[in-house]
Amino acid sequence: MKTVIRTNNLSKVYKDAAAPVHALKNVSLEFIQGEFTAIVGPSGSGKTTFLNVIGGLDKPTEGSVVIDGVDIATLKESQLFDFRLRHIGFVFQSYNLIPVLTATENVSFIMLLQKQPKKEMERRAKEMLEQVGLSDKLDVRPGKLSGGQQQRVAVARALASKPDFVLADEPTANLDTESAFNLLDIMARLNKEENITLIFSTHDQRVIERASRVITLVDGAVAKDEAFDR
Amino acid sequence: MKTLLTISWRNIWRNRSRSLIIIIAIILGLMGGVFSAAVRLGTEQQQYRESVEHQISHIQVHHTDFVANPEARFRIAQGFEIAKQLTEHPAIKVASPRTVFDGMAASANMNSGIRIKGVDPDTEAHTTSLDKLIVEGTYFAENGRLPSVIIGRELAEKLNSGVGSRIVLTFQDIEGEIISASFRIEALYEVSSSRFEERNVFVRTTVLNSFIGDPGAVTEIAVLLEDSDEYRKLKDEIQAMHANLEVRHWADLMPALFYSLEFLDQSLIWMVGIIMLGVSFGLLNTILMSVLERIKEFGVLMAIGMKKTKVFAMVLLETSLVSLIGGVIGLLLSFGMVEYLYVRGIDLSSVGGDGLSEFGYASVIYPEIDPVFYFKLMILVVAFAVVAAIYPAWKAVRFVPAEAVRTE
Ligand SMILES: Nc1ncnc2c1ncn2[C@@H]1O[C@H](COP(=O)(O)OP(=O)(O)O)[C@@H](O)[C@H]1O
Ligand SMILES: [Mg+2]
């Protein structure tokens, strides 16, 4: 099995606050290709910080992140932008989509930045939107979509460019229970079908049961790391 | 690039009213700028036309001492022959030999320092269109007992006399002896410059020459060219032929007018530039507002791998598009406005334009603007807009993605 991400003794201290905040403490984890991992923990436990650090959006105070054998600390800023573009898919809690682009255009956007051929791009965008059940919303702009539909477009976008892994920070936080389950079902299915490594954070106990691995953070440290056979 | 353009274009219309307000500000700024530019330009052009066509002509030739002492003593030897020879030059429309010197005009109760111009009525009509400037009386019909003089309306008012009145002109003959002679005012003329009207009186050369005692006297040759742009070349040519004479073109004679015309373009660009600077601050504010509203969006774009340079370019592109829309509409409307005013004229008398004639300005002006000027303005508008967008664009890319994607 191929290791996609490895973190070594990851620590993150926010020093700008009144008192330094230890958001991550000695986190050493490995993620294997095809895993569907949920990072859980109460608010403030360091889930977002962890995802930002392994996604190359934030720098650790100590320790390293190795993705596909590359220590991302060795990359220059512009290389890091490129690295994210080619290897990592992101789904955020909100502000995911470009409001002025249609669903199809949003899904194509990353492939466009990757300079993929136009024909292939359109085909793939349509395919992914079908996969997330939005084949009737291809030309609709985000403003006309519900929160759940918007997140499904974001998932389609993150997966369309076939990244090595997808990071999703509380993708269901703004959704009602039904939409949340629906979104996670789609993510779980795509994880199986496309064999893409998926790491998402949540503090919602109800959605955890979709994951094949659940890592619990408490005060920035790994408290539990359980695998489930689903 | 095409997608960037699409996104930028659609972003502009996201906040329709805000974009429209700034577009309208650009349009109004441009129209205001172009209007005032047109007024200035029209005024200067009119003044040039008036001065050159009705007063001084393109080139004037004198005896070298005449410039300092405009007296009959300093005549151009063989003046009539020289004028005739110049008239035959293909680039010269007409060369008018005159007998010109300073003197005094006196009516029963007033007197005034003047310049007396002895002219040949026909030649003068071709040179300065004096015949067309007559507003009262006849043009050298010499229908009185006394020889005729044509004076400006302003002088007539000053001397408290009119057509048919007698005035006495006093001047020096070729020996420097003082002569006084009575003339009858045959006509009054009007030009846009009241100073010119007050100073210049016209009589027949033959009459004046017999008074001063030299029938072949010429103190000034006024030269009107076929092509007004050739005045420098022709001045040099005439000077080369007549090294002993003083040859000056209109720019030598009216340096102030020359410089204001020469640098008019620049000064107008500056003027519009200052207006656009004001508009740019509004634009900066608008763009900054829209960038700050979308700061998370930009953060997400950078997080998913859109390079900072592209995000930066996107903000600049949006601003350029807004300014381009405003610029194109503004300049089209300005163009229409100027064309309309060119036909209709701008009547400045209603805003105190009557006083303008004292400075040689006409009170109704017909502005004309070179198309190149609009092109320069377009570049100016977009350049200002791009500069105004730099700070907001920098704000957009400075925001770190890690902060942008946090929702708290
Ligand atoms: N930019 C920051 N400056 C200071 N403290 C921060 C910053 N970002 C996060 N934190 C703190 O770090 C801790 C972990 O935060 P976070 O990773 O957002 O946790 P979670 O996503 O699990 O809610 C919290 O105590 C939070 O207040
Ligand atoms: Mg969080």
B223 occurs within a structural domain: yes
The DSSP code sequence of A109-175 is: HHHHHTT--HHHHHHHHHHHHHHTT-TT-TT--GGGS-HHHHHHHHHHHHHHT--SEEEEESTTTTS
Say if residue B221's pLDDT is above 90: yes
Q: What integer pLDDT is reported at residue A214 of this predicted model? A: 95
Same domain as B277, residue B233: no
Look at B112-116, B294-298, B310-314 and tell me which has the smallest mean pLDDT.
B294-298
Q: What integer pLDDT is reported at residue B217 of this predicted model? A: 93
Residue whose token pair is 């596909």: A68
How far apart are the CA of A6 and the centre of ligand 2, in A?
21
Say if residue B41's pLDDT is above 90: no
B248 occurs within a structural domain: no
B144 occurs within a structural domain: yes
Tokens of A162: 């076939």
Residue A48 CB less than 6 A away from ligand 1 = yes
Report which ligand 1 atom has the smallest distance to the Cα of A52.
17
Say if residue B365's pLDDT is above 90: no
B249 occurs within a structural domain: no
How far apart are the CA of A148 and the centre of ligand 2, in A?
19
The gap from C-alpha A198 to its chain's centroid, in whole angstroms, comes to 7
Chain-chain contact of A85 with B305 (C-beta, under 8 angstroms): yes
Residue A25 CB less than 6 A away from ligand 1 = no
Chain-chain contact of A90 with B405 (C-beta, under 8 angstroms): yes
Q: From residue B334, give the alpha-carbon distance in Å to each of B38, B269, B276, B342, B377.
A: 10, 15, 15, 12, 11
Enumerate the residues of chain B whose CB falls inside 8 A of the CB of residue A142: none
How far apart are the CA of A43 and the centre of ligand 2, in A?
7
Q: What integer pLDDT is reported at residue B349 of this predicted model? A: 62
Terminal C-alpha separation, chain A? 18
B348 occurs within a structural domain: yes
The Cα–Cα gap between B202 and B192 comes to 17
Same domain as B89, residue B203: yes
Residue A49 CB less than 6 A away from ligand 1 = yes
The Cα–Cα gap between B305 and B253 comes to 68
Residue A46 CB less than 6 A away from ligand 1 = yes
Q: What integer pLDDT is reported at residue A142 of this predicted model? A: 94
Alpha helix positions (H), B307-369: 308-344
B335 occurs within a structural domain: yes
Same domain as B83, residue B26: no
Chain B residue with CA closest to A53: the answer is: B402
Chain-chain contact of B402 with A58 (C-beta, under 8 angstroms): yes
Q: What integer pLDDT is reported at residue B351 of this predicted model? A: 55
Print pLDDT tens along chain A (230 aa). Answer: 789 999 999 999 998 778 899 999 999 999 999 999 999 999 999 999 999 999 999 999 999 999 999 999 999 988 999 999 999 999 988 878 999 999 999 999 999 888 889 999 999 999 999 989 999 999 999 999 999 899 999 999 999 988 999 999 998 888 888 888 888 888 888 888 888 899 999 987 777 888 889 999 999 999 999 988 76
Q: What integer pLDDT is reported at residue B354 of this predicted model? A: 53
CB-based contact B230:B74 (threshold 8 Å): no
**Mind telling me how many Å the CA of B404 is from chain A's nearest CA?**
9
Helix B255-262 and helix B264-293, axial crossing angle in degrees, nearest 10 = 30
User: Residue type for B299, please?
Assistant: G
CB-based contact B58:B228 (threshold 8 Å): yes
CB-based contact B298:B397 (threshold 8 Å): yes
CB-based contact A56:A87 (threshold 8 Å): no
Report which ligand 1 atom has the smallest distance to the Cα of A12.
12
Same domain as B79, residue B30: no
Tokens of A16: 């700008």
Same domain as B304, residue B235: no
In chain B, the number of structural domains is: 2
Work out the number of other CB atoms within 10 angstroms of the CB of residue A215.
23
CB-based contact B164:B124 (threshold 8 Å): no
**Mind telling me how many Å the CA of B310 is from chain A's nearest CA?**
10
How far apart are the CA of A42 and the centre of ligand 2, in A?
9
Same domain as B268, residue B190: no
B366 occurs within a structural domain: yes
- Return the residue in A67, A84, A92 with the most chain B beta carbons within 10 A, the one to mutate for interface testing: A92
The gap from C-alpha B292 to its chain's centroid, in whole angstroms, comes to 47
Residue A23: enclosing H or E segment and its boundaries?
Answer: strand A21-32
Enumerate the residues of chain B whose CB falls inside 8 A of the CB of residue A95: 296-297, 299-300, 404-405, 407
Same domain as B156, residue B92: yes
In chain A, the number of structural domains is: 1
**Chain B residues near any Cβ of chain A (below 8 Å):** 3, 6-7, 10-11, 14, 296-297, 299-308, 310, 400-402, 404-407
Same domain as B394, residue B300: yes
CB-based contact B301:B311 (threshold 8 Å): yes
Q: What integer pLDDT is reported at residue B332 of this predicted model? A: 93
Alpha helix positions (H), chain A: 47-54, 77-87, 103-113, 118-131, 147-160, 177-194, 205-208
| Closest in A90, A93, A94 to B304, CB measured | A90
CB-based contact A50:A225 (threshold 8 Å): no
Q: What integer pLDDT is reported at residue A5 of this predicted model? A: 95
**Chain A residues near any Cβ of chain B (below 8 Å):** 48, 52, 55, 57-58, 78, 81-82, 84-86, 88, 90, 92-96, 98-101, 105, 109-110, 112-113, 157, 169-170, 173
Say if residue B236's pLDDT is above 90: yes
Q: From residue A222, give the alpha-carbon distance in Å to each of A23, A26, A50, A212, A216.
A: 12, 8, 11, 17, 6
Task: pLDDT band for B3, please (50, 70, 90 cuts).
Answer: confident
Residue A126 CB less than 6 A away from ligand 1 = no
How far apart are the CA of B250 and the centre of ligand 1, in A?
78
Burial class (CB in 10 A: 0-12, 13-18, 19+), B2: exposed
The Cα–Cα gap between A42 and A50 comes to 14
Cα angle value B80/B86/B90 (rounded, 5°): 150
The Cα–Cα gap between A73 and B34 comes to 56
- Domain encompassing residue B21: 2-52+257-404
The Cα–Cα gap between A69 and A2 comes to 10
CATH number at A35 reads: 3.40.50.300
**Mind telling me how many Å the CA of A211 is from chain B's nearest CA?**
23
The Cα–Cα gap between B60 and A197 comes to 92
What is residue B147's DSSP assignment? P
Which residue has its alpha carbon closest to ligand 1 atom 27?
A: A44
Same domain as B69, residue B206: yes
The Cα–Cα gap between A40 and B189 comes to 99
Residue A200: enclosing H or E segment and its boundaries?
Answer: strand A197-202
B57 occurs within a structural domain: no
Per the model's pLDDT, the better-predicted residue between B364 and B210 turns out to be B210
Residue whose token pair is 């027949």: B204
Say if residue B363's pLDDT is above 80: no
- CA pseudo-torsion sign A182, A188, A194, A196: positive
Q: What is the mean pLDDT of residues B182-193?
A: 93
Say if residue B350's pLDDT is above 80: no
Same domain as B305, residue B232: no
Tell me whether strands B166-172 and B148-152 are parallel, antiparallel or unpaired: unpaired
| Closest in A48, A90, A112 to B303, CB measured | A90
Greatest C-alpha distance within chain B: 104
Quick: pLDDT tens for B114-131: 999 999 999 999 988 999
Say if residue B357's pLDDT is above 80: no
**Mind telling me how many Å the CA of B38 is from chain A's nearest CA?**
41
Q: Determine what percent of chain B is predicted with pLDDT higher than 90.
A: 53
Which residue has its alpha carbon closest to ligand 1 atom 14?
A: A46
Rounded to two decimals, what is the model's pTM?
0.76
Ligand nearest to the CA of A43: 1
Look at B96-100, B119-123, B372-376 and tell me which has the smallest mean pLDDT.
B372-376
Report which ligand 1 atom has the smallest distance to the Cα of A220.
14
Enumerate the residues of chain B whose CB falls inside 8 A of the CB of residue A106: none
| Closest in B297, B304, B402 to A52, CB measured | B402
- Domain encompassing residue A88: 3-227
Look at A198-207, B10-19, B167-176, B278-287 and tell me which has the smallest mean pLDDT.
A198-207
Q: What integer pLDDT is reported at residue A153 of this predicted model? A: 95
Work out the number of other CB atoms within 10 angstroms of the CB of residue A38.
25
Q: What is the mean pLDDT of residues B10-14?
A: 88
Work out the number of other CB atoms within 10 angstroms of the CB of residue B366.
18
The DSSP code sequence of B32-82 is: HHHHHHHHHHHHHHHHHHIIIIIII-SEEEEETTTTTS-STTSPPTTHHHH
